[in-house]
Structure 1
Amino acid sequence: MDKNSATHYADIIEATTKLDVHLFDDKAKLFYSKTGLVIPRFQNLPTGHHLLRSLKDYSITNCLHYRTAAQLEYLALRLGTDDSLFGACLVGPFLSQPISSSQIDQILVANQLTISDRHQLTQLYNELPILSKKDITQTSALLTNLFAKPFIPPKLVNTRTSQASMQTPISQRVNPIKQSLIERRYQMEADMMQAVSTGNLAKIDRFMTPLTEIVTSFSTRIPNAPLRSVKNISFVSNTLCRIAARNGGVNPVFIDSISEKFAVLIEKQNTVGALEHLTAAMLLEYTQLVHDTATTNFSPIIKRAIDFIMINLGHPVSLK
């Protein structure tokens, strides 16, 4: 494995996974780096020396998955052979699950960071892709198999094919089985939104598996674009949850913050599995928000007072 081959493979990995890729030589010097993220100064990349020490006792078929103190996750691979260490490949950062506001607070305390660092850290988490366990496994397989052999440049050959008619007859009848599934899905969506609007955490937990099935069922809505299809239904779910939370008595200020966060996260995802995981987390977080902050059962005056105090929490508040 030479630097030229390693660089070609790094380009393929970055283009395919949309993850940041970094290559280090056997002297721990960075010789390739392609990144779309701005990492805060207090969360710098793992050093080349640290990577080489971590990888020296592992085979080239072992892909290390590790997590930093700030919950940033990476995949690392030894370059070269089992007998000769050529360098290291680092892929990431990414997340395996969304980071909540309370987790960010815990990370700040554990890493002795200041409140002023919170905004940068929150922004970073919102930009990171969320990979499912399957995504991580497949990315690891891609890394170990690519770097196992020298790079072979492809030769593209253009061919002409006849295009069949894209028109399909429009059916006027609905299949009874399909009709039943559609009606069941709409009822399930209504039940989920009712659970969100009432902050019913016990009930919402029962919808996690059915929700994944609903999200997956929309993957064929746009032909040959399953990811775009699932992103679209995830955006719809975000809107429905936002409306349900408002109907549940949550102040729009709190709803808007969560809605914006998940809108960014949805667009950042690169796999259907990650979107399924994210949508389930979104449903739970909106329900938790209603459970914790809803003021529906209070009188209008008390409700306004509670909203004012919560919105201005941490700032001077007086009766004047």
Structure 2
Amino acid sequence: MQWTEIKTLADDLAQISGVSVRVCDGDLATIQLSGDDAPLPVFRTLPTTRWQVERAITAQGDFLALGIFSDQQLTGYLIAGPCESESRRLARIMGRCVLGATHPVTIHDDHIKVPRLTVDLAATDSDNDAVVARRYATQNRLMVTITQGDTARLPEMLAATSKLDIEAFFSRVPNRRLRSAKNILYVFNTMCRIAAERGNISPVVLDRVSSHYAVEIERMPSLDHHQRLTAEMATQYCEIVAARRDNHYSRKVNQALQFIYRHYQADLSLAEIASAAQAAPTYLSRRFKQETDETIFEFINRYRVRMAQQVLRHRPESVTDVAFRVGFNNVTYFNRMFKRYTGMTPLAYLRGSEPTVPQ
């Protein structure tokens, strides 16, 4: 049988059976795949004769491997799977189609063993199975939403997440509910970071965001902030993915933006930003305004105010300290810019956002 015929047969088998079928060479490298790209198990043995089918039985389902021969020489494999039912019948069909005869195939079963568990899965304090399944499904949907940068759907996913019963988690560390809540948020921060990384966000950007929230989590003063910080983290990661997807800025403007994000706390100059973007200052100023509808320093001021809001929301520092922290060297100017972009003074914002310190 020629390779072109084998490939056509693989397509036909996949269409008829609904099972993924792939043609592989002698080293199990995929030559053609028809169906989903399910990872292959590690076959402990493989067919060595024409009439042998190796059936690997795994938790995913059964995988069937049939040898492809040229004369008496083994040249590759036809592999189908995972197959959840009727795998024996499919093995016989594969043999007859490839070998073109009614000679019965020999099916050898290879059970891929699961490592022995040392965890007691029947622990009496385990959650209800249905509750656990629902919790995982909700978390997975939230991760997909972040990966896709779907900011429109995010509120719905966050609402579903807020309905999960996480009270039991707050007792994981006995008599330390706040410590338990922080541990949960560390896990959630990692989960969001992984979801955003799947959305093709730079590890450098993600490391900075993740590090920022690690600090915010540890500084969380009470359980009252748990839900708000959860929503803020998910929103931030999702918006980063959405911004990358919708970003139509030129390379020079993107370079300037990335430099500003990393160095907004410094006393930035146009010459310094232009050098980082490898562009002439006048050219960068013109392109930046054309593409963002703001001048470079309007953008910097607005971004600094946004960062100031983050500080004021989570830590009751003085307005002067916050101004210098985010890159303003004049408190009066900071107050004016803050009111321009938020509609209120920093002091009013601080009083309205002051964290509730537990008694």
Using CA pairs under 8 Å that are at least 6 residues apart, name the structure with larger relative contact order, 1 or 2. Answer: 1
Q: Which of 1 and 2 has greater Rg?
A: 2
Query: Which TM-score bucket, shorter chain as reference?
Result: 0.3 to 0.5
TM superposition score normalised by structure 2: 0.36
